[in-house]
Amino acid sequence: MKHIFEGPAEVFAAIIRLPNNRGDLYDTIKHVLPIIINYIAGVHGLTTPEEVWQVIAPLIPETEMPDIMEAILEEGRAQGRQEGRQEGRQEERREFVSRILRDGLMSTDQIATTFRIDKNEVERIAADVLKTDSH
- Per-residue pLDDT of 38-59, as tens digits, reads 777 888 888 877 787 788 778 7
- 121 class by beta-carbon count within 10 Å (0-12 exposed, 13-18 middle, 19+ buried): middle
Q: Is residue 80 part of a domain?
A: no
Q: Is residue 92 part of a domain?
A: no
Q: Is residue 87 part of a domain?
A: no
Q: Is residue 102 part of a domain?
A: no
Q: Give the range of the structural domain holding residue 40, as residue numbers without chain letter.
A: 1-60
- In total, how many domains does the chain have? 1
pTM of the predicted model, to two decimals?
0.45
Of residues 2 and 45, the one with the higher pLDDT is: 45
Q: Is residue 125 part of a domain?
A: no
Q: Is residue 38 part of a domain?
A: yes
Q: Is residue 111 part of a domain?
A: no
Q: Is residue 79 part of a domain?
A: no
**Backbone phi, then psi, for 83, in 5-degree steps?**
-65, -40
